Structures are given as C-alpha cells and as structure tokens.
Amino acid sequence: MDFQLSDDQRALRSGMRDLLGAVFDRDRLRAAVEREGALDRSLWRELGAAGFFALRLPEEAGGVGLGLPEAVLLFEEAGRALLPGPLVATHLSAGLVKGAAEGEAVVTAVAADLPVAHLAEADAVLVVDGRASGLPGEAEGAEVLSGAAWGAEVLSGEAEGAEVLSGAAWGAEVLSGAAWGAEVLSGAALRAFVAAARPVRSMDPLTPLHRAPADAKPAPAAPERTRADAERAPEAAERAPAHAGRFRFEAALLTAAEQLGSAARTTEAAVQHAGDREQFGSAIGSFQAVKHLCADMLARTEPARAAVYAAAVTGDPVEIAAAKLLADEAAVRNARDCLQIHGGMGFTWEADVHLHLKRAWLRAASWLTGAGAEELLAAGLGTAGRLPRSSAAYGRPVREAGGGG
C-alpha cells in the first residue's frame, strides 16, 4: 500500500505548518504557559477560519469536505507546535455543536472517570458513552442527557435559545446522539456540571483539568417520546451498532496524530542541538552514545507515522489501537531522550522539552490508554475473540478508553 502523500495533502500540511508558525510561535507558546493554559479565543477563531475544525464537514454544510487522513495531517502539525486546547473534541463536534466548526465555540469532552480538559472555558461538553462521573444513564452509547437532566432541556428542542443537535451531522441524523456515541451538554446543564466539578493539578501547564465528584449525580429524567421518535426508532437501532464508539476511536486516532507530531519535533530538536552543542572540541552529535539516542528516536517515529497514516485510511479500531500505542511510546520516549541530549539545559523551565514530555504523558492517558490498546490488539489477534473488520467494530466496549480534550 502506498502511503506517499499527494500534492494536495503536502500542500495542506505545509499550509498548516506555516499558519501555526505565524499565529502560534514560541512567544505565544510561552505566553500561553504564563496564562496557565487559558485559551486564546482569537487563535481559536483563526483555526476555525482556516478550516481546522470543519475539515471533514461536507462542503454543502460549510465544511472543507476532506477525510480522516487529512485531519491526521493537521493534528500532527498541532502536536508539533504544542497547540493547546481541546482540539480533538471541538473538531469532532463540528456539525453537532453550533459554532464549533467556525471556532466560535470551544468544546471539550468527558468520558469514563478521567478529568476534563479546559472545562472552565468550554461552551459545550461532549459526554462520551454516558460514562462521565456525575451523569446519569447507561454506558456505551445509551441515552444520557435527554429531557430535563441537570434541570434543563439539553438534547431535545432548544437549549439556551440555540438548536444543538437538530438536522444532519456527519451525513446522517444524529438520533439523539446515541448513534454517534456522544451527547452534548450546554447551557444551564453545563453550568451545573462546571459548578459540581473541582480543579485538579495537571502535569501539563498548558492543560487545566477538572474532575466532577462521583456523588454529584442528579436523578435521571425520563425522556419524552414523540411519534417521530417512535417511527425512527427501528432505523436508530440499525444505525447505532455501526457508529457506537466511533467518537472514541476517532478521538484516539487524532490524539495519536498529535503524539506523532510531538515525537517528530523532539527528534528534530535533539538532532539540531547535537549538531550545535560542542564538548571537548567536537559537536556532541559525533559521540556514539548521542548518535544512538537520535537514531532510536527516528526509529520510533517512523513506524508510528506509518501506523497512524494506515489507521487513518482504514478506520479500523484494532489499527487505531496499534497506532495510539506506537505514537504514545514515540512521543514519551523521544521527549525523554531529547531532554537527555540537551543535558542540564533540558531540565530548565526555559527549555521547551519538558512541555513536550508533559503533554505526551497527558495524551497517553487520554481516550485509549496503553492497557486498552493492548486488549484490543490481543482481541484482534484472536486471543480474546476476533474483532470484526468493519464499522460495527466501533460498538465493542473497551474499558480503558477514556476522555479528554
């Protein structure tokens, strides 16, 4: 299979790198660190204007009309630049949440019991599979926030004066979110959720985190069913297995793409420093130990790149799991080796290496952890029952699949 990028794909990647170099250079990166990760709304809107969030929406819906492979290229560049914010959730909510595609809305996500990134600044929260702390409903794609949950109408009719989930999204009717595997929390319901959450210390200075207490569970409200709901229920039942969990796996793949970009950037930084830094009258890159470290970094990055690109083409959950596993390892270990090559300077706050390492640690715990990926791979090899190679595989639950921005 040929994974060489087309001319259009290379131009897309180059354009995004140029854009991020112009709007999010090192000075703005450091400014974001000083703001403790607070989002720059003007930057968010610039990304929206460039089509970052609407990349996969159909052109007739105001999007760019491209696919998952192109989205992976953009997220790879975002990972290189250490772009902060809930990029994955906002990108995946384009067409679901008003303003997300244009960068006017910041959307984060919560799943399992993992902390929520950038919750205080979010205009909406995607609740994935109904497994968030403090939310009612069944796991794995059940109705979570229909009706008057959290004291507000969220998913039916109008929420805070804006239609949230009506019409077509991703080329199909949302079906109250069950088919897509995520529900939207906004308006008064979002404010109640934020009030119940508490900030937790984040290892990444660019990613503020919150956790909702487990005892903040409101009583679930029974959703009202209309005749239209009853008429389309059989269609929903047919569609849901093919799409349940799709959000979770695509989020894992885009997170892996960010890890890939970070791994590539730390490799480049290590090689550059090894060529510039001199000891004993020679560049440290001429020393065998440093050469091996740099070679190991490249040897981790390129297999991860092949795995991420392949998973973007196939969309297969098992291949996504392999890609996430390889990309996590490349991002974390490359950042550690880059720090070692930088020596004492690499341990200082002024160096950017620690930012890549901390972000890589955080991403590795998001959406699909190493343990969850290994379980999927084992099942794909037949040790725990073979997974179907189709979109229906998205419906298979994975205990360690988590959430994040």
Task: Convert the pLDDT of each residue in 71-129 to its tens digit.
Answer: 999 999 999 999 999 999 999 999 889 999 999 999 998 877 788 999 989 999 988 76
Instruction: From 264, 262, 258, select the one nearest 301 (Cα to Cα).
Output: 264
In this structure, what token pair is assigned to residue 45?
A: 């809107």
In this structure, what token pair is assigned to residue 298?
A: 């490249």
In this structure, what token pair is assigned to residue 119?
A: 């919750």
pLDDT at 47 over 60: yes
pLDDT at 37 over 50: yes
Given this model, what pLDDT does residue 224 score? 43
pTM to 2 decimal places: 0.77
In this structure, which amino acid lies at residue 328?
A: D
Backbone dihedral angles phi then psi of residue 124, each to the nearest 5 degrees = -160, 155
Please name every residue paired with 64 in a beta bridge, in sequence order, or none if there are none.
none
Given this model, what pLDDT does residue 167 score? 30
Mean pLDDT of 241-254: 73
Per-residue pLDDT tens for 151-190? Answer: 333 333 333 333 333 333 333 333 234 434 567 888 888 8
Sheet holding 209-211: strands in order across?
Answer: 116-117, 209-211, 198-200
Given this model, what pLDDT does residue 1 score? 55
Q: Please report which helix (H) or strand (E) contains residue 30, including its range.
A: helix 26-34
Confidence class for position 262, pLDDT limits 50, 70, 90: very high
Query: For the stretch 124-155, what's the b/e string if a residue is b when 16 or more beta carbons lie within 10 angstroms of its beta carbon?
Result: bbbbbbbbbbbbbbeebbbbbbbbbbbebbbb
Choose the weakest-confidence range: 166-175, 192-201, 223-232, 267-276: 166-175
Q: Exposed (0-12), middle (13-18) or buried (19+): which is 26, by Cβ within 10 Å?
A: exposed
Mean pLDDT of 367-396: 67
Mean pLDDT comparison of 35-49, 167-181, 386-400, highest-scoring range? 35-49
Q: Using the 8-state DSSP alphabet, how is residue 139 labeled?
A: T
In this structure, what token pair is assigned to residue 57?
A: 């929406």
Mean pLDDT of 280-309: 91
**Percent of the chain whose predicted confidence (pLDDT) is above 90:** 40
Mean pLDDT of 188-214: 86
pLDDT at 6 over 60: yes
Is there a contact between 331 and 322 (Cβ–Cβ < 8 Å)? no
pLDDT at 400 over 70: no
Pairing of strands 278-279, 209-211: unpaired
Q: Using the 8-state DSSP alphabet, how is residue 370 labeled?
A: H
Separation CA 330–CA 350 (nearest Å): 23
Q: Using the 8-state DSSP alphabet, how is residue 209 labeled?
A: E
Given this model, what pLDDT does residue 192 score? 87
Is there a contact between 223 and 146 (Cβ–Cβ < 8 Å)? yes
Cα angle 191-397-107, degrees, rounded to a multiple of 5 = 25
Q: Please report which helix (H) or strand (E) contains residue 305, including its range.
A: helix 288-314
Please name every residue paired with 168 in a beta bridge, in sequence order, or none if there are none.
173
Mean pLDDT comparison of 2-6, 11-15, 37-41, highest-scoring range? 11-15
Confidence class for position 330, pLDDT limits 50, 70, 90: very high
Residue bearing the bigger pLDDT, 248 or 336: 336
Separation CA 122–CA 134 (nearest Å): 18
Mean pLDDT of 354-379: 90
Given this model, what pLDDT does residue 175 score? 29
> Can you say whether the dihedral through the CA atoms of 253, 171, 180, 393 is positive or negative?
negative
Given this model, what pLDDT does residue 155 score? 33
pLDDT at 391 over 60: no
Coil vs helix vs strand at 348 = coil
Choose the weakest-confidence range: 82-86, 374-378, 380-384: 380-384
Confidence class for position 404, pLDDT limits 50, 70, 90: low
Q: Using the 8-state DSSP alphabet, how is residue 5 labeled?
A: P
Backbone dihedral angles phi then psi of residue 262, each to the nearest 5 degrees = -65, -40
Q: What is the mean pLDDT of the chain?
A: 76
Residue bearing the bigger pLDDT, 335 or 346: 335
Please name every residue paired with 125 in a beta bridge, in sequence order, or none if there are none.
108, 185
Q: Please report which helix (H) or strand (E) contains residue 261, including its range.
A: helix 246-276
Q: Exposed (0-12), middle (13-18) or buried (19+): which is 33, by Cβ within 10 Å?
A: middle
Confidence class for position 307, pLDDT limits 50, 70, 90: very high
Backbone dihedral angles phi then psi of residue 162, each to the nearest 5 degrees = -135, 135
User: Which residues, at least 6 apart from 111, have a Cβ–Cβ distance to it below 8 Å?
Assistant: 127, 128, 129, 131, 132, 248, 367, 401, 402, 403, 404
